[in-house]
């Protein structure tokens, strides 16, 4: 990238995503495949069970809304992290990955806890 006879910054930046995709394809193929399988599985679960959220035989609670929001956000956050990483923007991917982790942590706690106060605090933060 630096030194005499190097390409311009525009050339380097435009080639970096392709270089990173090749690196992912060569070195991290199995990891990337696991991420894709995870995303496809989560999307299939959403397709199968999202209709139950509006079902009248399931009680509507604040926790249920929080859990669904975390589930849906996680799907989009993990997908975004994968795209950012493929484009070489790993620094930008870390904060998004933290959002996914926090959402899952809230959802897990809300699903096992009987305290509604936590769901109210969690909804205020999001």
Q: What is the DSSP string of 4-64?
A: TTPPPHHHHHHHHHHHHHHHHHHHSHHHHHHHHHHHHHHHHHHHHHGGGGG-TTS---HHH
Look at residue 104 in the predicted model and tell me its pLDDT: 78
Structure tokens at 103: 């959402």
Look at residue 4 in the predicted model and tell me its pLDDT: 67
Q: What percent of the chain has pLDDT over 90?
A: 1
54-112 pLDDT, tens digit per residue, is 666 666 666 677 777 778 888 888 888 888 888 777 777 888 888 888 877 877 777 77
Can you list the pairs that 83-91 forms with residues at least 24 positions away whose Cβ atoms lie under 8 Å?
A: 85/20, 85/24, 86/17, 86/20, 86/21, 86/24, 87/16, 87/17, 87/20, 88/16, 88/17, 88/19, 88/20
- Coil, strand or helix: which one is 123? helix
Confidence (pTM): 0.62
């Amino acid at each position: 990238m630096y030194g005499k006879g190097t390409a311009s910054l525009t050339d380097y930046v435009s080639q970096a995503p392709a270089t990173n995709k090749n690196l992912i394809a060569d070195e991290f193929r199995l990891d990337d495949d696991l991420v894709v399988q995870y995303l496809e599985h989560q999307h299939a679960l959403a397709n199968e069970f999202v209709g139950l959220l509006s079902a009248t035989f399931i009680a509507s609670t604040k926790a249920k809304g929080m859990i669904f929001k975390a589930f849906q956000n996680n799907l989009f956050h993990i997908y975004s992290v994968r795209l950012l990483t493929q484009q070489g923007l790993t620094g930008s991917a870390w904060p998004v990955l933290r959002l996914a982790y926090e959402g899952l942590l809230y959802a897990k706690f809300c699903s096992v806890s009987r305290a509604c106060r936590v769901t109210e605090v969690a909804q205020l933060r999001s």
